[in-house]
Amino acid sequence: MAATTDRVVAVGGSAGGVQAIEALLTALPRTAPGMVIVQHMPERFTAALAARLNSLCAMKVKQAADGDCVADGRVLIAPGGRHMADWLQQQVLAKSARPP
């Protein structure tokens, strides 16, 4: 399991967002801060988008799922029709509850 990070980049996209997200991610190194992305599209398309971006990018890209953590070099794409805010809040609360 990857260690979580205190640095998170959040990106939101709608019409034209796929091309902008691809341009952003393909320009980043494998060591870039962890990212969460919300792209306005149905879930079956966000899974395909994550797989496609994963094949093009140095960072690991996947559709977010329960148990995933934000980590350097990892991009999590929200499943279509879902929001990342609650998921991110759970990650922050879980991390803050751990002893230092």
Q: Is residue 3 part of a domain?
A: no
Which pTM value belongs to this model?
0.80
pLDDT digits 0-9 by tens, 36-90: 998 888 878 999 999 999 999 999 999 988 778 888 999 999 888 776 666 666 6
The conformation of residue 67, written as its DSSP 8-state character, comes to T
Q: Nearest 10 degrees: CA dihedral of 67, 30, 5, 69? A: -10
99 pLDDT exceeds 90? no
Angle between helices 17-26 and 43-56 (to 10 degrees): 30
Which domain range does residue 14 map to? Answer: 10-97
Asked whether residue 2 is domain-assigned, the answer is no
Q: CA–CA separation, 60 vs 34, rounded Å?
A: 10
Return the SS3 of 16: coil
Q: How many domains does the chain have?
A: 1
d(CA 50, CA 37): 10
> What CATH number is given to the structural domain containing 38?
3.40.50.180
In a domain, 4, yes or no: no
